[in-house]
Amino acid sequence: MTPIIRPTDDKAFAEKLIRQNMSGYYKQLDMRWDTDLFDRQWGELDSYALVMNASRVGLLCINHDQDAYYIRELQIAPQWQRQGLGTAAICFTADTAQQSGIQLLRLRVFCINPAIALYQRMGFKILKTAGGMHAMERRIL
C-alpha cells in the first residue's frame, strides 16, 4: 500500500501515536516518557503524516545535517503495520535526501524492536550498539 505522505504540525497526534507504539518498549526497558524532551525536539523536526483512506495512520519525523538524513520517528498505527507503510516512509526519506544531495540515512532503534528486520531489508546496517539502542545507517545509491 502506498500512503499519502504530507507535512503535519499536529503535535498531539504525533505524541499520542508515539506513546501508544512505544509504551511496551519503555515499560520493558524501565524508561519514562519525557514530555519536555518531546516538546523541545518537535520544533526541530520535519514531520509528516502517513494517510490512508483520508485517515492518519502513521508518522514520519526527519531532520538532517550536511552528512545525513535522520529518521527520528517512524510510527505506524498497529492495525496498519506490516502493510508496506514503513517501507514507503523510508523510500520517501531516501528520495528527499537524494534530492538534497545527501547520500546517507541514519536512525536509532531499540535493540528489542522487531522493526530492525525492516530496516535491514531496506539496506540499513548496524554501526554501533549502546544503551539498548542500535545506531543504523544506509547509503543511498
What domains are there in the chain, each with its CATH number? 4-139 (3.40.630.30)
Q: How far apart are CA 77 and CA 17, in angstroms?
A: 7
Helix (H/G/I), strand (E/B), else coil: 125: strand
Global model pTM greater than 0.75 = yes
Question: CA-to-CA distance for 63 and 93, rounded, in angstroms?
Answer: 10
The residue-averaged pLDDT of 59-77 equals 97
pLDDT at 26: 84
Cβ contact 116:122 at 8 Å: no
Give the per-residue pLDDT at 28. Answer: 81
> Mean pLDDT throughout 80-109?
96
- The string of pLDDT tens digits covering residues 26-38 is 888 888 888 898 9
The answer to whether 123 and 138 are in contact (CB under 8 A) is: yes
pLDDT at position 107, please? 98
Report residue 24's pLDDT band, with 50, 70 and 90 as the boundaries. Answer: confident
Give the whole-number percent of the chain exceeding pLDDT 70. Answer: 100
pLDDT (average), residues 82-111: 96
Q: What is the pLDDT of residue 91?
A: 97
pLDDT of residue 34: 87
Phi, psi (rounded to 5 degrees) for 101: 80, 15
pLDDT in tens, 99-129: 999 999 999 999 989 999 999 999 999 999 9
**What grid cell was written down for 117?**
528486520
